[in-house]
Amino acid sequence: MIGSALAALSLVGASSTLARPGSVRLLSVSPRVVQGGVLTVAAVVSPVPRTCTLTVRPASGRSLGPTHRQVRQRRVRWRVRIPRTAAPGRWTLLLACGRAGKARASFTVAQAIAPASVVVEKAGFSEDTAGGGTSISYGIVLSNRSTTADAWDVGLNVRFVDAGGRALATLNPNISVIPAASRFFKAGHLFSDSSLAVATVLVRVSVRSSKPKGAVLPSVRNVAVASVPSSGLDVTGTVSNPYSKALPSGRATIYAVLFDANDSVVGGGEQATLEQVQPAASLDFRLHVFPPSVGTSAQVSVDPCGGVTPGCAVLAR
């Protein structure tokens, strides 16, 4: 029995001195790199070779590399610039570290896009100075000139100024997204405690984020304008939900811009949806615009997130 135990111990000792198999373990790989961007790769290697070699390959075409890096304290890292002309799609990388072995991974090269460009096509207003202040109805026509990029988180600076250039009121509304090659009709109503008359409205636009085109806004049909004696205009129509999730009640916002017979902007108004709109369902709306306006027609847009994109599930990609 003692001899058997000694033999077993001897085998254990012998096995502990055998060379352990090599390993190359990837710690991190950039999952998505835009054309012209940088791919980062990090790995831990055992046993430690002098250098490791990285080769990066597209689905078809010319590979990048091989490039060599020295291994330090079992770790090796790369930062590889992906050419601006690189083919979009799925790429693979091969990391070879001598007797330690090899490791493979894949990542996506995304097409680079030019930033979205949103401009103000038209802006206008109506006002009523009765009662010691100024009631203003305004409308703005925005156009995303990019054909490849959606404009996300669009900020506006809207200033109503008098003939002397003095600001009577200022707004800073936000629009969740304006899809590529499309218009957005932004409108609203405000009250200024100034008795001075507004001479013009000045609008500045900032696009905080651009993404490849793909965003869709709720569609609007059957838009009509009807005069309400002594109290303005009603804009009616039907909104349809194109998403797989419900349009949230009280958050999705309908904007109506009013035009006169010469197609000039003369005001507008806004209204949050009063109830949820389920996927593929529609909702009839009636939006009142005040003060009284000479508007004869209207264009309507719907912001499904009411200008606040964080936590807005309907626009999540």
Q: What is the pLDDT of residue 317?
A: 61
What integer pLDDT is reported at residue 152 of this predicted model? 96
C-beta of residue 184 within 8 angstroms of C-beta of residue 83? no
Q: 135 - beta bridge partners?
A: 128, 191
Residue type, 101: G
CA pair distance 154, 46, nearest whole angstrom: 50
CA atoms of 69 and 25, how far apart (whole Å): 15
**Residue 6: what pLDDT?**
38
Cα 148–chain centre separation: 13
Quote the pTM value: 0.73
pLDDT at position 2 is 44
Using DSSP's 3-state secondary structure scheme, residue 291 falls into: coil
Whole-angstrom distance, CA of residue 270 vs CA of residue 289 = 8
- What residues have CB less than 8 Å from 30, skipping those under 6 apart? 38, 39, 40, 41, 107
- In the chain the domains, ranked by start, together with CATH numbers, are 24-110 (2.60.40.1930), 118-315 (no CATH)
C-alpha gyration radius of the chain:
31
Cβ neighbour number for residue 213 with a 10 Å cutoff:
18
Contacts of 298 (CB under 8 A, 6+ apart): 223, 224, 225, 235, 256, 257, 258, 259, 268
Query: What is the chain's pLDDT, residue by residue, as a tens digit (317 residues)?
Result: 444 443 333 333 333 333 346 799 999 999 999 999 999 999 999 998 989 999 999 988 889 999 999 999 999 999 999 999 999 999 999 999 999 999 999 999 998 888 999 999 999 999 887 666 778 999 999 999 999 999 999 999 999 999 999 998 999 999 999 999 999 999 999 988 877 889 999 999 999 999 989 999 999 999 999 988 777 899 999 999 999 999 988 999 999 999 999 999 999 999 999 899 999 999 999 999 987 667 899 999 999 999 988 878 888 76
Question: Residue type for 164, please?
Answer: G
- Can you tell me the distance from the alpha carbon of 165 to that of 270, in angstroms, rounded to the nearest whole number? 27
pLDDT at position 157 is: 98
Distance CA 247, CA 281 (A): 10
- Alpha-carbon dihedral of residues 44, 45, 50, 56, nearest 10 degrees? -70
* pLDDT the model gives residue 4: 43
Q: At 54, is the secondary structure helix, strand, or coil?
A: strand
Residue-wise DSSP of 86-133: PPPEEEEEEEE-GGG-EEEEEEEEEPP-PPP-EEEEEEEEEEE-GGGS
